[in-house]
C-alpha cells in the first residue's frame, strides 16, 4: 500500500516540522528575549515569588526593564543573608511600584539612595528590594516575614497604597486564618481544580513558548479575550463591565480585620528591634492611620511630597505616551525625599 505509507510519511514530516519549529522558537525567544521563561513561581507559603537566577526582560506600554533575579530570590543587587556589623540594612516591601520593573535598576530609588548615603555620609547602608508586582498587604507581610527577615534588616520600609489594603485576586496567596489575637496563613491549597491545574502545568512556565501559552490561558481565564479580539467593536459583543469600586466599604470589613491583625504582628516585630516604617504612597484611610499610630509604628507621608508634581512628571512614559508606574524622574524624587529622612534617621 504505497498510498498509505506515503501518507504516513507526510504525517511524520509534518509532526517533525512542528516539533522542530517549536524548538526553534524556544531558542529564538530566549536569544532575542522576546519571551523568557517565567521569573516568578507560586510558593505555597509565600504566594507569588521571584524565581532565583531567572532572567527578566520586560518591555511594553510603560518602560523597559532588563535584569535578573539574584540567587537569593529578590531582584537586582545581591546581598547575602549574613550582614556586616557596621552596615545598616534596609528591606523594601511593596508592590509593582517598589519592584520597579519599568526601568533599569541603576535608576531605581533603592540604588540612588544607597549611592547618596554611602557617598555623602559616614554611614554604610545596603538596600534589598523585596517589592513584588501584584502583592497586597497580606502578600507583603508574607514576603517580609518568610523571606526578608532571613536577611536581618535593621529597618523595613512598607510602601502602601489604598488598594493594597484590599485583596488582589490576580495572584494566588495563602489564605489567612484569624485567631483571637493573631493571624496565621494556610499554605496555598492544592485540592481545588484551579490550583491543581496551576500545579500540574507549572512546568510550562520553565519554557519561553510555555510561558506564552500560559499568558494566553490567563487572558482567556480572566475574560479579557473578547476585548482583545474585537477592539473598537467590543461594545457590539459585550456590555461595558462596571469598574470595580475602590471603596473600602462593609464588604471589606473582613480585610480590615485581617489588616488589623497584620498591623498588630508588625508592631510586635517593631518592638523586638526589627524596625518598621510605613510609607504612604497614597493617602490611607483615617481609621488605618490612627490604628497604625496607636501601635507605635511610624508613618511617612510620601504622597505629600509626590503631590508637588503632576502625573505627567511622575508617571509619564515618553516612548508610549502613556501614564503608568513611576518613571525615572519619580524614582529620583523619591530617592531624594527618603535619603534626607534616612540620613538623619536614628540608626
Q: Binding residues for other proteins, per CB under 8 A? A: 10-11, 13-18, 20-22, 25, 28, 31-35, 55, 57, 59-61, 63-64, 66, 103-104, 106-107, 209, 212-213, 215-216, 219, 225, 228-233, 317-320, 328
Instruction: Provide, rounded to whole angstroms, the least separation between the CB of residue 166 and other proteins.
Output: 26
d(CA 161, CA 62): 20
Nearer to other proteins, 36 or 149 (CB): 36
Instruction: Provide, rounded to whole angstroms, the least separation between the CB of residue 299 and other proteins.
Output: 32
Q: Which contiguous run of DSSP H or E holds residue 98?
A: helix 96-99
d(CA 45, CA 47): 6
Nearer to other proteins, 160 or 209 (CB): 209
Instruction: Provide, rounded to whole angstroms, the least separation between the CB of residue 12 and other proteins.
Output: 8
Distances (CA, A) of 331 to 104, 105, 227, 328: 11, 11, 33, 5
d(CA 207, CA 124): 40
Nearer to other proteins, 221 or 309 (CB): 221
Nearer to other proteins, 76 or 131 (CB): 76
Instruction: Provide, rounded to whole angstroms, the least separation between the CB of residue 43 and other proteins.
Output: 24
The DSSP output letter for 60 is S
Instruction: Provide, rounded to whole angstroms, the least separation between the CB of residue 29 and other proteins.
Output: 9
Instruction: Provide, rounded to whole angstroms, the least separation between the CB of residue 19 and other proteins.
Output: 9
Q: Which of 50, 43, 54 is nearest to 195 (CA)?
A: 43
Nearer to other proteins, 39 or 317 (CB): 317
- List residues bridging with 49 in a β-sheet: 41
CB atoms within 10 A of CB 345: 18
Q: Which contiguous run of DSSP H or E holds residue 265?
A: helix 253-271
For 296: left if phi > 0, alpha if psi spans -120 to 50, otherwise beta; the answer is left
Nearer to other proteins, 115 or 304 (CB): 115
Amino acid at each position: 500500500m504505497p498510498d498509505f505509507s506515503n501518507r504516513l510519511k507526510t504525517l511524520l514530516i509534518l509532526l517533525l516540522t512542528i516539533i522542530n519549529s517549536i524548538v526553534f522558537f524556544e531558542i529564538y525567544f530566549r536569544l532575542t528575549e522576546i519571551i523568557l521563561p517565567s521569573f516568578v513561581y507560586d510558593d505555597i507559603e509565600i504566594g507569588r515569588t521571584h524565581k532565583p537566577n531567572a532572567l527578566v526582560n520586560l518591555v511594553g506600554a510603560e518602560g523597559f526593564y532588563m535584569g535578573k533575579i539574584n540567587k537569593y530570590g529578590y531582584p537586582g543587587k545581591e546581598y547575602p543573608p549574613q550582614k556586616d556589623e557596621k552596615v545598616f540594612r534596609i528591606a523594601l516591601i511593596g508592590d509593582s511600584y517598589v519592584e520597579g520593573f519599568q526601568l533599569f535598576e541603576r535608576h531605581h530609588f533603592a540604588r540612588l539612595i544607597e549611592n547618596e548615603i554611602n557617598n555623602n555620609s559616614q554611614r554604610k547602608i545596603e538596600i534589598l528590594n523585596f517589592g513584588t508586582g501584584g502583592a497586597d498587604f497580606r502578600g507583603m507581610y508574607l514576603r517580609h516575614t518568610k523571606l526578608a527577615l532571613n536577611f536581618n534588616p535593621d529597618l523595613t520600609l512598607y510602601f502602601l497604597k489604598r488598594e493594597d489594603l484590599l485583596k488582589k485576586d490576580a495572584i494566588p496567596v495563602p489564605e489567612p486564618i484569624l485567631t483571637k489575637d493573631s493571624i496565621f496563613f494556610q499554605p496555598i491549597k492544592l485540592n481545588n481544580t484551579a490550583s491543581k491545574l496551576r500545579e500540574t502545568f507549572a512546568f510550562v512556565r520553565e519554557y519561553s513558548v510555555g510561558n506564552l501559552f500560559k499568558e494566553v490561558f490567563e487572558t482567556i481565564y480572566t475574560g479579557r479575550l473578547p476585548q482583545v479580539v474585537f477592539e473598537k467593536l467590543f461594545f457590539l459583543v459585550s456590555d461595558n463591565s462596571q469598574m470595580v469600586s475602590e471603596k473600602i466599604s462593609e464588604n471589606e470589613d473582613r480585610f480590615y480585620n485581617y489588616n488589623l491583625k497584620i498591623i498588630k504582628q508588625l508592631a510586635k516585630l517593631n518592638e523586638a528591634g526589627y524596625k518598621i516604617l510605613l510609607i504612604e504612597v497614597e493617602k490611607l484611610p483615617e481609621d488605618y492611620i490612627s490604628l497604625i499610630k496607636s501601635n507605635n509604628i511610624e508613618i511617612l507621608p510620601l504622597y505629600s511630597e509626590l503631590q508637588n508634581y503632576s502625573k505627567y512628571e511622575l508617571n509619564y512614559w515618553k516612548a508610549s505616551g502613556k501614564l503608568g508606574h513611576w518613571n525615572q524622574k519619580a524614582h529620583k524624587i523619591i530617592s531624594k525625599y527618603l535619603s534626607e529622612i534616612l540620613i538623619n534617621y536614628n540608626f
